Structure 1
């Protein structure tokens, strides 16, 4: 009878362990080794996921799909709460990635631009005019280059559950139509906080400034800055049409998303749960990419209807922009690594 009671007590304890992201008792601390034969597959998780932009974005929709699919697949054993607009990091995307790396946040959707603040090698994906179209990005990220990016991110404490799409970054401004590098001279443009973008925009002759994205709308509204650059989905979901008149569709820099999970947490999970995160993560990414591509033409039409003036540079004009920033490659090839850069070229 005593042996039966002890066995019952041990089983009860094992099934009540819960991983709460941001607490002192995380999944990484509580879960058994994935190779063990205990009850690790029955571990319960209550996880927090941060998304940079609002709940009308494809990022948030895909994160919600992941949360719903995970809850359904595990009968509620794994719960993911999704927080838009970087609520968990005070609006600071860089802080969100840092918290993901140290385990305070469990999962995030973040751009590789934000990751490159922590590891400059990851800035290679943002190199100017590196990709001509989405077909090229798909091939590159599915190949050797994409695997190299995942390994770099893994070294920084995050397991990549695949790539999403923020898209090609376009320029908006409130001053005038931009058709040549000369139109950018002295323009105050908000850029993400990485040195490569600062150098790139100075090559254009612009006046680049960094700030968290949560501050951009107000800065544009008050005239502190003239413009900013982001993919269509972010421009649309953030309602920048209310404070910007012009947009240049030049595809100057590609911006993939990382669906990341804290590596210690992921490593602590059972093999079955790891596979579940990989499978449902890939499905969420595919859903996000499909949504982003389907919605972009509709979003463009809505921005036009709201009064934003679009300009698409000719090939000759694009070449002028490329030539203006060629020095960026000379400076950053050694930072990114020639082998990594060539895997995308």
Structure 2
């Protein structure tokens, strides 16, 4: 273990003590600012105020996109719409909680990764199918095509209106214990996964001891050694400071996880038609621009990880095939729950 990483872990525990004191002082009740935005008359003098929630840190591309979307909406509406952006778990601890708040109308606009939506609607589990897309081009085509159109209908049934489909990128294997160079290296590893039953099934089938854990608890779990590894992107490894407590980053591209931005349907329907159009016109920012920024940031952050002492491991095609073969039964197991038609649509983009 590198000396600087040990020092950072010591500092981290000091930070935990200070943080607990701050949290105790602040309390956990939500302030009035977390409630759905105030509805003005929709003029520049009396604008309609909406809030926008996501869980990413301020130094992650997702937050930059949220801020740019806010600015674009305010510009196009000539100040008649104003957005307030909340990030970093300020309002709710998870993406699923944020999505539920948007459904209830406690939040106006939210961005959530597709896996976080799967506990609310099993159709979104389609993006949890391992090795579904071979590259970004295939994934983006699906987000601009029939697959996202089908899922937009599911969102509407949930009381939400889709604004745009962005990306959190492809997920890789990140280890704080031993290097992952083969499927066999996963055996017995204590792996953090999203609180998602398919993820648990997938990684347990690969030999890990997988358990769900909220994202905000991952750093502590890796630092204390209660978990050995997780799957993540370089952007999250850097923005969440995981590089301080992990040593290996194995490129597998096992999941492509999009991020969808949506607005509460009642809120959307209450807006004048021209302001509805503003929200949608600016949607390319949380769609195409988000994908672009995430892809660029991933390249940059991989270089930063190496500078911080994290080793990047590239697997051979033959070794990757072993990973794919091991998880193929997952497709059949979840076919009825996801829907065969939806799986066939998704697979058509990689044929």
TM-score by length of 1: 0.87
Match of 1:67 among 54, 65, 70: 70
1:85/1:214 contact within 8 Å kept: no
Q: CA RMSD in A?
A: 1.9
> After the TM superposition, which parts of structure 1 deviate over 3 Å for at least 4 consecutive aligned residues?
39-43
- Equivalence for 1:13: none
- Equivalence for 1:171: 173
CA distance in 1, matches of 2:45, 2:329: 54
Match of 1:213 among 215, 237, 247: 215
After TM superposition, the structure 1 stretch with the greater mean CA deviation from structure 2, 65-74 or 106-115, is 65-74
Q: How much does 1:118 deviate?
A: 0.7
Report 1:278-289 matches (<5 A): 278-289=280-291
CA distance in 1, matches of 2:151, 2:44: 29
CA distance in 1, matches of 2:38, 2:153: 24
Q: How much does 1:283 deviate?
A: 2.8
Report 1:183-332 matches (<5 A): 183-332=185-334
- Equivalence for 1:44: 47
Report 1:17-166 matches (<5 A): 22-23=35-36, 27=39, 44-89=47-92, 91-166=93-168
CA distance in 1, matches of 2:98, 2:111: 10
Helix, strand or coil at the partner of 1:87:
coil
CA distance in 1, matches of 2:198, 2:148: 20
CA distance in 2, matches of 1:153, 1:41: 31
Greater C-alpha Rg: 1
Deviations 1:300-345 (A, max 9, x none): 1110111001111111111100111111111001111000000011
CA distance in 2, matches of 1:96, 1:295: 24
Q: How much does 1:21 deviate?
A: 6.8
Q: How much does 1:84 deviate?
A: 1.4
Deviations 1:75-111 (A, max 9, x none): 332111111112111x222211110111101111210
Seen in structure 2, the aligned counterparts of structure 1 residues 43 and 270 have a Cα distance that, compared at 3 Å, is: farther
Q: How much does 1:72 deviate?
A: 2.2
Identify unmatched segments of 5+ residues in structure 1.
1-19, 32-38
Identify unmatched segments of 5+ residues in structure 2.
1-32
2:235/2:301 contact within 8 Å kept: yes
Deviations 1:159-214 (A, max 9, x none): 11111110001110111111222111111111111111111111011111112111
Q: How much does 1:40 deviate?
A: 9.2
Helix, strand or coil at the partner of 2:35:
coil
